[in-house]
Amino acid sequence: MKRNKKIILICHCIINSNSKVEGLSQYGGIFKEFVNLIAEKDIGIIQLPCPEMIVYGIKRWGHVKEQFDTLFYREQCREMLRPIVQQTKSYIDAGYEILGVVGIDGSPSCGVNHTCSGEFRGEISNNDELESILETLKEVKGSGVFMEELKSYLEEVGIKIPFTAINENDVYSSLDKIAEFI
């Protein structure tokens, strides 16, 4: 069968939920229904790296965007994205269609429309303000740091592609929206 020259970029945890912060995954290892949807349409996949896993490891706690919004983390994201952006540009230059990017709304790194925000800081074990700090945690409109860097980097090299996201709070409700996207 001939290749259809269609590719989609997707967040790492869609194919490997083991990379997510402990307790956040709504599926065992791979979001099968989503991957099956892509497979039915014979769309190629470029799996984005998981910046949180690479920088903080598997035993990390949940974070908010404000904790990742640092020059160091943004530079690390750029380094991880360099080969992805180069591949994407190469595919486009060769006549391939990049359908877009699928992020994970609610993520402080990979959110597209919504991200996790709050005044999360300090030591957890002896923090008299912990309860009030936890009360500041909320989902807000906006993109996560990794997605901001990806959008910016793509634009810098002249690539304008759409972004959409799976809702981290209810991944299965996102399937219809994603089906329309692809």
pLDDT computed for residue 125 by the predictor: 66
Residues 6+ apart with CB under 8 A from 116: 62, 63, 64, 65, 106, 107, 108, 137, 138, 139, 140
Domain-located, residue 149: yes
pLDDT digits (tens, 9 = 90+) for 90-123: 999 999 999 999 999 999 999 999 998 887 766 6
- Backbone torsion region of residue 146, taken as left when φ is above 0, otherwise alpha when ψ lies between -120 and 50, otherwise beta: alpha
User: Considering its fold, how many domains does the chain have in total?
Assistant: 1
Q: What's the chain's average pLDDT?
A: 88
Instruction: pLDDT band for 23, please (50, 70, 90 cuts).
Output: low
pLDDT digits (tens, 9 = 90+) for 42-84: 999 999 999 999 998 888 777 889 989 999 999 999 999 999 9
Beta strands of 84-145 (E only): which ranges?
A: 97-105, 114-117, 138-141
* Among the listed residues 150, 48, 181, 51, the one whose alpha carbon sits nearest the alpha carbon of residue 108: 51
pLDDT computed for residue 123 by the predictor: 64
Residue entry with tokens 């984005």: 48
Domain-located, residue 1: no
Whether pLDDT at 159 is above 80: yes
Domain-located, residue 150: yes
Instruction: pLDDT band for 174, please (50, 70, 90 cuts).
Output: confident
Contact 115, 106 (CB under 8 A): yes
User: Other C-beta atoms within 10 Å of 112: how many?
Assistant: 26
Domain-located, residue 168: yes
Task: Quote the pTM value.
Answer: 0.88
What CA–CA distance (Å, rounded) separates 118 from 107?
12
What CA–CA distance (Å, rounded) separates 39 from 81?
24
pLDDT computed for residue 21 by the predictor: 76
Q: Name the helix (H) or strand (E) containing 55.
A: helix 51-56
Terminal Cα-to-Cα distance of the chain (whole angstroms): 20
Q: What is the mean pLDDT of residues 39-43?
A: 94
pLDDT computed for residue 101 by the predictor: 97
Range of the domain at 127: 6-181
21 forms beta bridges with none
Domain-located, residue 140: yes
